[in-house]
Structures are given as C-alpha cells and as structure tokens.
C-alpha cells in the first residue's frame, strides 16, 4: 500500500516538517518548520493546545483549505475565517 491511497484518504494542504523519508503526494504541501509556539509541552487541559498556535511568519498561516461544515471554530474556539484560506493546523491565528 502506498501512503497516498484514495480508498483511505488523500493528503491535501498539509505541513511536513522534520525527517520525512517520503512525503505523500500533496500538490499544496508546505515543507518547512511550521513555527509552533510550544509544541508537545501540553497537559490534559485544552489550554495546553495553545502551544500548537502558529507564531508570526509561519508558512502555515492562510495555507489550509476550507472544509465544509467545519463548525466555524478551531479546537480552541477561535472563529475560522469566512473568506480566504484558514491556517494549516488545529489552531487558527
């Protein structure tokens, strides 16, 4: 099985940082450090997810895709943009 398997899903507008040997077929891939505020610092509290916020200059800002019926908010309750592209990731800047 390949990484890109239409039966299981496809990769679109993702950020690939770190040591990837093979990056999935993703025409709009961002291949750079996403500049996360403080990843992997968290606890079980929702506020720990703020560490996954994008810092200024992140290549992931405004680089995502609009997902229909997305609930209009990110994981922290921030409102997603009504026009234009959202950020890549779970937390909108």
pTM, to two decimals: 0.81
Backbone angles phi, psi at 46, to 5 degrees: -60, -35
Question: Could you tell me if 74 and 91 are in contact, meaning their C-beta atoms sit under 8 angstroms apart?
Answer: yes
- One digit per residue, the tens of pLDDT, for the chain of length 93 reads 345 666 777 888 999 999 888 888 888 999 999 999 988 776 666 667 888 999 999 999 999 999 889 899 999 899 999 888 999 999 999
CB atoms closer than 10 angstroms to residue 84: 8
DSSP three-state, residue 48? helix
Backbone angles phi, psi at 51, to 5 degrees: -65, -20
d(C-alpha 82, C-alpha 39), whole Å: 27
């Amino acid at each position: 099985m390949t990484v890109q398997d239409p039966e299981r899903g496809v990769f679109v507008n993702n950020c690939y940082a770190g040591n990837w040997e093979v990056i999935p077929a993703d025409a709009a891939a961002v291949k750079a450090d996403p500049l996360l505020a403080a990843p992997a610092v968290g606890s079980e509290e929702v506020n720990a997810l703020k560490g996954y916020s994008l810092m200024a200059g992140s290549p992931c800002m405004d680089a995502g895709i609009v997902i229909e019926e997305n609930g209009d908010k990110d994981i922290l309750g921030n409102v997603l943009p009504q026009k234009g592209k959202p950020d890549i990731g779970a937390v909108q800047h």
